[in-house]
């Protein structure tokens, strides 16, 4: 997905949203946010160069925010809150079928403080969603293909998304462990980025019970070749099934010609990529065969 | 010299205890406006606008050591006159221990009448009030030295007064050389007293007078033998310095604004650096850097250790650390200087950049230039940029005489740097409106302002890159058709001309 495929106002809004979460004095927050807004407006109105790949652009844009607040982690508090709520909810429900497990994973993807305050999760609503999940249907359903791939794979890599959400992913990892013979890799970010799960968060959540925790080597959205580590690329290359959670990984993979990826997500923004479209508020399990195309970029595994 | 090495030496200087013995004077500058002719007599008449006081002679040496970070004490006397009281206050403000200076007599006052119009300064007249040392001053100094000499790593004897007025005499010098760990000194007229001093400093004229040869600075070894000291350093202004060990110290090329006190700065930095672990070459380099800073400022100026490190960093084409720069900017502001800030990529520096920066400097006293790091430039401008790496951009900008400080920022924008440095004026070159200048809200929040300078040449790096790229395409460019707009015909003609020129 391209940077230009999204309303530019979104990028200004996320700057305000992020800075407002920081511990800076209010006057300083206001000044920083207004100057970041000025910068982006000048870039846009004067047709200055903007990184075309949306996940890379957003990585650079968010990294700038972190630099503005001296790399403090303004999402620490909401990450702890998410984990507590998710643990409480996952203790109450036990999805039985593969379909229910995937639906739980997708509903868990609603726990996202990622970009805007508008997406602040409502845990009471989430509880209701989970209660009625059996009646829910997927908007894009490639789950049968995913199930087959799980049973055949020798190495499965789960690219996780948010803290809290990863508690729901444990159901899926349990299923993979029970129904396949694969080596399981669970990949998190190396450094904090919004409320995305880092390797530290994965360890804290006891994810190592299900497989080997690996770091992408970066804090970037997606898996940009110049940002992720060579060690990660090696594991990524040798995984014959990649399950990628969340919107950012779908935005990233739609740029590439990689056919062994399944995206599992609840969409928050419209997603557009090389002929593929997904409106917001959709629950989806998407095989990358739907968008992978020989004309797309080839991933450089190094 | 590596910046890290310079920083390590300067750090060691902060552990030194230095005693400066000598003649402590006060340099006073009466700053006037443009002079006119007096109606009473045919003489210049001016109104005094401002009075500036600086430590002079041995006091300048003491201050110079203190600014480098050493713990400094003085031994001598501070007069009971107004000059003495003022000098004591200035020295104590700089953290110099004056307990070894007896109070009494009169401190020498050197008063200059100086006309200042903007940044132009003209010296008109100097009025001297010689010092008068109090009774028993010599005995007091001798007793202080005897009692305390073991506490000091270095004793510097600064003999600036005429023979009969000085607290320094042969027995004091002999006592110091016998008992002090390290000694250094300089004398206007009694260099013969300085036998056995570890380091003796003199300028070219003093050296010439001593051995009767105009090129005496080439004969530091001869001077050394004549004096009987252990080492001699002859300072030679823009030709640098030479030591009796044969070390040639190159001067740092800079615009000389006021050389007053630069020799003191050189001597103190040289000694402090040697005791901070430098070899003679390194000490000479640091001393030359310090002297270059001193001569680049109006009136007597003693650079701090941080400034010397920054000068080395600049010489190494390194950018300045933002935290260190922020401290320095605070010092400038305390001295009433107006800070002008400019930022940009400066990728392919061209005359538009130079003109913009030259005009920016005219808006204040200190011009600080922030440049986007290579990573920041790439993220802002895209693949293939920067064309010139960071180090080259720093080197070119640092060499512009109107650029005082260059630093690199790694963020996409200079927001953080502006918040830290809080300049009075943010200058942006090019076709921007003030509302498009990053930092406008920040600078205006504390009363600063934004200035946009549109360079007369109209140059933009992006245009330049396009211009360089055009001839490659021009060969296949079709001729403008008859009836095409004049601009298109002209463009085609220009390209044909360029092709012809490139073939030739």
Alpha-carbon distance A51 to nearest alpha carbon in chain B (angstroms):
7
Among all residues of chain B, which has the CA nearest to that of A67? B411
Mean pLDDT value of segment B105-109 = 93
Q: Are A207 and A186 in contact (CB under 8 A)?
A: yes
CATH topology for A78-290?
Rossmann fold (3.40.50)
Beta bridge partners of B155: B19, B183
Closest CA to B187 of B214, B206, B204, B205: B206
* Helix A76-92 with A123-131: angle, nearest 10 deg: 30
Q: Give residue B255's pLDDT band: very low, low, confident or very high (50, 70, 90).
A: confident
Mean pLDDT value of segment B209-216 = 73
pLDDT at B497: 40
Instruction: Output the six-digit token pair for A97.
Output: 């079928």
Listed as own residue / partner, the contacts of A276-283 with beta carbons closer than 8 Å and 24 or more positions apart are A278/A139, A278/A140, A278/A250, A282/A139, A282/A140, A283/A103, A283/A106, A283/A107, A283/A136, A283/A137, A283/A138, A283/A139
Contact B379 A60 (CB under 8 A): yes
Instruction: Tell me which residues of B are annotated as active site.
Output: 264
Q: Of all residues in chain B, what percent carry a pLDDT higher than 70? A: 88
> Which chain B residues contact residue A35 at CB under 8 A?
413, 415, 438-442
Q: Give residue B118's pLDDT band: very low, low, confident or very high (50, 70, 90).
A: low
CA B7 to chain centre: 17
Of chain B residues 25-44, which have a CB less than 8 A from chain A?
none
**Which portions of chain A are predicted below pLDDT 50?**
none
Q: Are B314 and B6 in contact (CB under 8 A)?
A: no
Alpha-carbon distance B324 to nearest alpha carbon in chain A (angstroms):
17
**CB count, 10 Å around CB of B300?**
23
pLDDT at B223: 77
Of chain A residues 23-52, which have a CB less than 8 A from chain B?
27-28, 31-32, 34-36, 38-39, 41-42, 46, 48-49, 51
Q: pLDDT tens for residues B338-379?
A: 999 999 999 988 888 999 999 999 999 999 999 999 999 999
> Which chain A residues contact residue B382 at CB under 8 A?
49, 51
CA A175 to chain centre: 21
Q: Does B499 touch chain A (CB under 8 A)?
A: no
Q: What angle do CA B464, B470, B476 make, to 5 degrees?
A: 175
- pTM score: 0.66
Residue B480 pLDDT > 50: no
Distance CA B126, CA B27 (A): 10
Mean pLDDT value of segment B466-481 = 55
Q: What is the ipTM of this complex?
A: 0.88
> Which chain A residues contact residue B442 at CB under 8 A?
31, 35
In Å, what is the CA distance from B31 to each residue of A103, A294, B48, B117, B399?
82, 78, 6, 10, 31
The domain spans of chain A are 78-290
Q: Does B373 touch chain A (CB under 8 A)?
A: no
Distance CA B48, CA B245 (A): 48
Q: Does A123 touch chain B (CB under 8 A)?
A: no
> Which chain A residues contact residue B410 at CB under 8 A?
67
Distance CA B269, CA B19 (A): 14
> Which candidate from A38, A39, A41 shows the least CB-CB separation from B412?
A39
pLDDT at B45: 83
Distance CA B499, CA A55 (A): 43
pLDDT, averaged across chain B: 85
Distance CA B208, CA A57 (A): 68
Contact A28 B419 (CB under 8 A): yes
Mean pLDDT value of segment B140-161 = 92
Contact A67 B416 (CB under 8 A): yes
**CB count, 10 Å around CB of B393?**
29
Residue with the bigger pLDDT between B259 and B21: it is B21
Q: Tokens 């039985």 correspond to what residue? A: A96
> Which chain B residues contact residue A42 at CB under 8 A?
432, 436, 438
* H or E stretch at B248: strand B248-249
Q: Give residue B277's pLDDT band: very low, low, confident or very high (50, 70, 90).
A: very high
Contact A68 B416 (CB under 8 A): yes
Burial A246-275 (b: 16+ CB within 10 A, else e): bbbbbbbbbbbbbeebbbbbbbbbebbbbe
Q: Of all residues in chain B, what percent carry a pLDDT higher than 90? A: 51
Q: Does B99 touch chain A (CB under 8 A)?
A: no
Closest CA to B270 of B96, B59, B70: B70
> Which chain B residues contact residue A68 at CB under 8 A?
411, 415-416
Among all residues of chain A, which has the CA nearest to that of B431? A46
């Amino acid at each position: 997905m391209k940077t230009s495929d999204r309303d530019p106002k979104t990028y200004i809004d996320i700057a305000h949203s992020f800075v407002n979460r920081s511990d800076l004095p209010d006057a300083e927050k206001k000044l920083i946010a207004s100057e970041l807004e000025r910068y982006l407006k000048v870039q846009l109105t004067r047709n200055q160069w903007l990184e075309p790949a949306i996940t890379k652009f957003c990585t650079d844009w968010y990294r700038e925010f972190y630099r503005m607040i001296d790399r403090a982690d303004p999402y620490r508090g909401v990450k702890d809150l998410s984990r507590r709520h998710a643990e409480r909810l996952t203790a109450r429900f036990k999805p039985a079928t593969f379909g229910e497990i995937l639906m739980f994973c997708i509903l868990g993807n609603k726990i996202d403080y990622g970009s805007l305050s508008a997406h602040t999760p409502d845990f009471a609503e989430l509880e209701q969603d989970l209660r009625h999940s059996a009646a829910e249907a997927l908007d894009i359903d490639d789950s049968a293909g995913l199930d087959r791939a799980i049973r055949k794979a020798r190495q499965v890599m789960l690219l996780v998304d948010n803290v809290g959400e990863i508690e729901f992913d444990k159901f899926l990892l349990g299923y993979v462990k029970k129904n396949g013979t694969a080596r399981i890799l669970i990949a998190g970010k190396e450094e904090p980025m919004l409320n995305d799960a880092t390797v530290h968060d994965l360890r804290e959540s006891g994810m190592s019970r299900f497989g080997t925790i690996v770091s992408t080597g970066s804090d970037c959205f997606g898996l940009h070749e110049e940002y992720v580590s060579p060690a990660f690329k090696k594991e990524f290359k040798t995984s014959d099934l990649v399950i990628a959670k969340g919107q950012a990984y779908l935005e990233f993979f739609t740029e590439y010609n990689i056919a062994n990826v399944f995206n599992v997500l609840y969409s928050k923004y419209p997603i557009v990529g090389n002929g593929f479209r997904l409106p917001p508020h959709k629950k989806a399990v998407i095989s990358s065969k739907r968008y992978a195309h020989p004309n797309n970029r080839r991933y450089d595994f190094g | 010299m590596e910046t890290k090495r310079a920083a390590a030496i300067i750090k060691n200087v902060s552990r030194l205890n230095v005693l400066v013995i000598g003649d402590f004077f006060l340099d006073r500058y009466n700053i006037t406006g443009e002079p006119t002719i007096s109606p009473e007599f045919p003489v210049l008449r001016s109104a005094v606008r401002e009075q500036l006081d600086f430590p002079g002679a041995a006091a300048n040496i003491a201050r110079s050591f203190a600014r480098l970070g050493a713990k400094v004490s003085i031994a001598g006397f501070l007069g009971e006159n107004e000059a003495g009281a003022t000098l004591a206050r200035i020295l104590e403000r700089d953290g110099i221990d004056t307990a070894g200076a007896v109070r009494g007599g009169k401190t020498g006052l050197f008063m200059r009448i100086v006309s200042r119009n903007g940044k132009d300064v003209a010296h008109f007249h100097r009025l001297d009030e010689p010092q008068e040392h109090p009774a028993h001053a010599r005995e007091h100094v001798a007793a202080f030295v005897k009692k305390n000499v073991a506490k000091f790593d270095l004793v510097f004897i600064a003999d600036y007064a005429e023979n009969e007025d000085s607290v320094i005499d042969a027995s004091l010098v002999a006592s110091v050389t016998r008992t002090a760990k390290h000694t250094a000194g300089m004398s206007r007229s009694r260099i013969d007293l300085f036998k056995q001093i570890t380091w003796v400093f003199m300028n070219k004229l003093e050296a010439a007078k001593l051995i009767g040869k105009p090129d005496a600075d080439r004969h530091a070894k001869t001077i050394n033998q004549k004096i009987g000291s252990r080492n001699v350093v002859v300072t030679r202004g823009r030709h640098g310095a030479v030591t009796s060990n044969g070390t040639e110290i190159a001067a740092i090329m800079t615009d000389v604004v006021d050389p007053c006190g630069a020799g003191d700065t050189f001597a103190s930095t040289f000694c402090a650096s040697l005791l901070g672990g430098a070899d003679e070459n390194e000490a000479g380099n640091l001393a030359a850097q310090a002297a270059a800073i001193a001569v680049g400022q109006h009136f007597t100026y003693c650079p701090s250790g941080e400034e010397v490190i920054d000068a080395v960093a600049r010489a190494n084409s390194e950018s300045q650390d933002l935290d260190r720069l922020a401290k320095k900017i605070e010092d400038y502001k305390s001295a009433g200087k107006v800070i002008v800030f400019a930022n940009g990529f400066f990728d392919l520096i061209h005359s538009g950049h130079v003109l913009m920066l030259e005009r920016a400097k005219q808006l204040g006293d200190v011009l600080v230039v922030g440049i986007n790091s290579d990573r920041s430039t790439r993220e802002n401008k895209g693949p293939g940029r920067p064309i010139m790496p960071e180090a080259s951009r720093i080197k070119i900008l640092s060499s512009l005489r109107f650029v005082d400080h260059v630093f690199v920022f790694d963020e996409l924008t200079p927001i953080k740097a502006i918040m830290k440095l809080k300049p009075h004026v943010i200058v942006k070159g090019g076709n921007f409106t003030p509302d498009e200048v990053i930092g406008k809200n920040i600078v205006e929040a504390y009363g600063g302002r934004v200035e946009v300078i549109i360079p007369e040449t109209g140059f933009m790096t992006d245009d330049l890159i396009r211009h360089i790229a055009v001839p490659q395409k021009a060969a296949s460019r079709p001729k403008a058709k008859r009836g095409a707009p004049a601009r298109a015909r002209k463009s085609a003609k220009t390209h044909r001309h360029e092709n012809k020129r490139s073939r030739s």
